[in-house]
Structure 1
Amino acid sequence: MPAQAAIGWAGDPFQGVMMYLLIASDLDGTLLLPGDTFGAFTKSVIHRLNRAGHHIVLATGRHQADVESLLDSQSPPVHLITANGARISSACGGLALSAELSTAVVQTLLEETRADTDLTINLYCRSGWLMSREDENLKDFSQNPDFQPTLCAAENLPLHAVQKVFFFQRSKDHDALLRLQARLEQRLGDQIGTVFTFPWCLEVMARDVSKGNALKQLAEFLNVPIQACIAFGDAMNDVDMLAGVGKGVLMGNAHAELRQALPEAEIIGRYTDEAVAHYLSKHLLKSADLPA
């Protein structure tokens, strides 16, 4: 059953009136250490927050199966927002939503890009990750050996059950991807949403799909006011999530574009120092609940 929101919230939760009930965090460059691992301190803090009654949300551009492979039987219950908001799964299993691109949109995306030899086409489908060719950029994009792409020639890529399509620019030419983004948006209009997860990776989802919109749906299901949510992120695919909650916090390693988009947001340490866990332990855990 969805949790009931605590009574009596007003003002800034860090002033002692009420703590944030919903904690959402991006993974790459935010909560995960290099090598796609959760640090020991981060694991400890998440366990204690869960026992204290906070909801934990992992909000990422990754595929759900990818994120699930990073968790184990000792992991506390967490809610998942994956594929940049195309998939929502509550910890209790009572909410499972998927927003997929229409077959016509996928066909158009493939027609526009199939002949470009400097692009690698990627699809997140219900069954997994398909990639049109081998690409050196893969080693910077995914370090999880338990979730790797299946090669599938561009002409054989499916049109159905596609959560998102994303493109690697093989020579990391950001300007070329900006031109592609403009062409796709001109042709498909309000049928799609686009975002850069890296300067050389352009992602395309269905209209209105984003981490921020997904988090609002999850908060409504849990009966938690969106102002009682704190979120952490480092890239432009986090911007609407960070802007739409009670408190959005940027990583010290956040992209310059994100800092420009949210100039008033608090900036903390780097993901390599488990800065999110240290911030949460300081502000949301009672001293008796702190890790040893």
Structure 2
Amino acid sequence: MKQENLFVTDLDGTLFHSNVTVSEYTTMTINKLINAGYYITFCTARSYYMARKIMNKINFNVPCIVFNGAYIIDCMTGEKLVANSLQKSLCIEVLEDAKKIGIVPFVFGQEKDEEVLKYVLPENKGQKNFIMQRKKQKDKRLRFVNKIELPDEIITLNFIEKESQLRKLKKICEKKYENLLSIKFAEDIYLKGFFSLELSNHNADKGKMIKVLAKYMDIPLQNVVVFGDHLNDLTMFKVAGRTIAVKNAHREILNFADEHIASNNEDGVARYLENNLLNKFL
């Protein structure tokens, strides 16, 4: 029987615990539902590589959305179904603007079909924490460079700084590249006081890619259920049929959501799925 619903969860702050892990309970529950024929996937700011590394025991079998909508990936094969990359000439201009302010990004991209994360020596606590966490996870994408080099395919430029510096660059980008870039600005959920400014293709947007994925899977948007916690989830909340916020979500997400559930650390998403789907199936 054709499944008529699609369940899409954000990861950090939503499905993941605050220590960036997935509980055995969540893993077991989602796998049971996938085996029962339910369509469950994820939509995240993370790369496919890191998302699957953290969730290596969950057997996702429908496409997922990564890099905040830059890619839609086939979870069965790892193949890119949709790629919203950045133009190199545009990135060069942005890097010049950033240089005048005195800031440098982390550069996510691909070279010879291999995902890379290029970075220079971290200068602040936010940047150091960003790299330290990825080294702990043995992130094979890390490429230290003395000067930022742009890869063959550019996915996103991610700046981590104090708020005032990033607001300067954000203002410049909004003025010069408003129709060319997707601009995402938010406080770091793992290190308060530091902010992230993520610049990507103007189509790299969770809401836009939820629409694309639903059409690809022949599921009406009103039958798409999304789970989230942070401001980058708002665009997918605006297009989905049902919106569910974990208890720890940003106030704006809580206000927008149709329903509130237990927090990420209480396995809120898995408990909702179990109570509303698994128990009915059994």
TM-score (norm 1): 0.82
Q: Deviations over 1:3-61 (max 9, x none)?
A: 9454xxxxxxxxxxxxxx21111110000123322111111111121022111211111
Q: Following superposition of structure 1 onto structure 2, how do residues 219-230 of structure 1 map, counting pairs within 5 Å?
A: 219-230=214-225
Structure 1 counterpart of 2:191? none
Report the secondary structure of 1:137's partner residue. helix
Q: Deviations over 1:244-283 (max 9, x none)?
A: 11111112111234345x2x53222211111111111111
Q: Following superposition of structure 1 onto structure 2, how do residues 39-58 of structure 1 map, counting pairs within 5 Å?
A: 39-58=23-42
Counterpart check, 1:84 vs 2:68: yes
TM-score (norm 2): 0.85
Q: CA deviation at 1:288?
A: 5.8
Q: CA deviation at 1:175?
A: 3.7
Aligned counterparts of 1:164 and 1:74: Cα–Cα separation in 2: 26
- Structure 2, unmatched stretches of 5+, are 189-194
Q: Tell me if structure 2 keeps the 8 A contact 1:232–1:249.
A: yes
Aligned counterparts of 1:178 and 1:68: Cα–Cα separation in 2: 32
Q: Deviations over 1:218-258 (max 9, x none)?
A: 11111111111111111111111112111111121112343
Structure 1, 194-203 or 251-260: larger mean CA deviation:
251-260
Report the secondary structure of 2:72's partner residue. strand
Aligned counterparts of 1:276 and 1:100: Cα–Cα separation in 2: 31
Q: Tell me if structure 2 keeps the 8 A contact 1:87–1:97.
A: yes
Structure 1, 195-204 or 180-189: larger mean CA deviation:
195-204
Structure 2 counterpart of 1:128? 116
Aligned counterparts of 1:259 and 1:104: Cα–Cα separation in 2: 39
Change (3 A) 1:39 1:78: farther
Structure 2 counterpart of 1:168? 160
Structure 2 counterpart of 1:207? 202
Q: Tell me if structure 1 keeps the 8 A contact 2:69–2:209.
A: yes
Change (3 A) 1:46 1:78: farther
Structure 2 counterpart of 1:106? 91
Q: CA deviation at 1:196?
A: 2.3
Aligned counterparts of 1:53 and 1:141: Cα–Cα separation in 2: 37
Aligned counterparts of 2:175 and 2:60: Cα–Cα separation in 1: 44
Q: CA deviation at 1:197?
A: 4.3
Aligned counterparts of 2:125 and 2:62: Cα–Cα separation in 1: 32
Q: Tell me if structure 1 keeps the 8 A contact 2:247–2:262.
A: yes
Change (3 A) 1:185 1:159: farther
Counterpart check, 1:97 vs 2:90: no
Change (3 A) 1:190 1:69: same
Q: 1:62 aligns with which of 29, 32, 46?
A: 46
Change (3 A) 1:287 1:138: farther
Q: Tell me if structure 2 keeps the 8 A contact 1:5–1:223.
A: no
Change (3 A) 1:140 1:279: farther
Structure 2 counterpart of 1:9? none
Structure 2 counterpart of 1:266? 259
Q: Tell me if structure 1 keeps the 8 A contact 2:157–2:198.
A: yes
Change (3 A) 1:182 1:211: same
Change (3 A) 1:160 1:37: same
Q: CA deviation at 1:287?
A: 4.8
Structure 1, 97-106 or 84-93: larger mean CA deviation:
84-93
Q: Tell me if structure 1 keeps the 8 A contact 2:60–2:76.
A: no
**Aligned residue pairs, count:** 266
Q: Tell me if structure 2 keeps the 8 A contact 1:219–1:226.
A: yes
- Structure 1, unmatched stretches of 5+, are 7-20
- Considering only aligned residues, what root-mean-square deviation do their CA atoms show, in Å? 2.4
Q: Tell me if structure 1 keeps the 8 A contact 2:27–2:57.
A: no
Report the secondary structure of 2:236's partner residue. helix
Q: CA deviation at 1:66?
A: 1.3
Change (3 A) 1:67 1:83: same
Report the secondary structure of 1:75's partner residue. coil
Q: Following superposition of structure 1 onto structure 2, how do residues 174-189 of structure 1 map, counting pairs within 5 Å?
A: 174-189=163-178
